[in-house]
Amino acid sequence: MSEPNFVHGLKKLEYTKLDYKEIVVFDESHCEMRFVLLGSTSEFRVRTLYTKEPETIEWIKSFSKSDIFLDVGANIGVYSLYASVVHGLKVIAVEPMISNFYLLSMNCEKNPAADILPLPIGLARKTELVTWMPSLAVGD
């Protein structure tokens, strides 16, 4: 299996349990996005921002400044931050998993210029209250 095409210039980080790291990513126009990471999974999401879903990056580029980007299943907010910080969009970021929502909120805080409303909810076809217990594994 070949290594994914990571964001250029970022070195792989070493983690201990519940050890936060912070990295800065620059886009092609040198806009700065700051990310708080907790383990290799969140690091992977940031490192593959431009390569994991290039069609999502292209889609975000097609939005006009008056559009609102709704990021359902925002995870830690890599596409939300890209849309807001790099392209100046207003973003609503929906993420129900608490560990991901925590990192999403931290990432919004680290990027004060971002116009993102993070919401800790799940979306479904009908309105109801449910108990939802996804895997509680954080980071790895």
* DSSP string for residues in 85-118: IIT--EEEEE--SHHHHHHHHHHHHH-TT--EEE
**Range from 29-43, 70-84, 123-137 that averages highest in pLDDT:** 70-84
Query: Is residue 112 in some structural domain?
Result: yes
Judging by DSSP bridges, how do beta strands 32-38 and 20-26 pair with one another? Answer: antiparallel
Q: Judge contact between 49 and 78, C-beta under 8 A.
A: yes
Query: Is residue 107 in some structural domain?
Result: yes
Mean of pLDDT over the chain:
85
Query: Is residue 39 in some structural domain?
Result: yes
Those residues with Cβ within 8 angstroms of residue 56's Cβ, 6 or more apart along the chain or in another chain: 79
Number of independent structural domains in the chain: 1
Burial group, residue 102, by CB count within 10 angstroms (0-12, 13-18, 19+): middle
Q: Which domain holds residue 73?
A: 20-119
Query: Is residue 129 in some structural domain?
Result: no
The CATH number of residue 105's host domain is 3.40.50.150
Residue type, 125: R
Query: Please, which pLDDT band fits residue 64 given cuts at 50, 70 and 90?
Result: very high
Specify the pTM: 0.79
Q: How much is the average pLDDT of 39-64?
A: 93
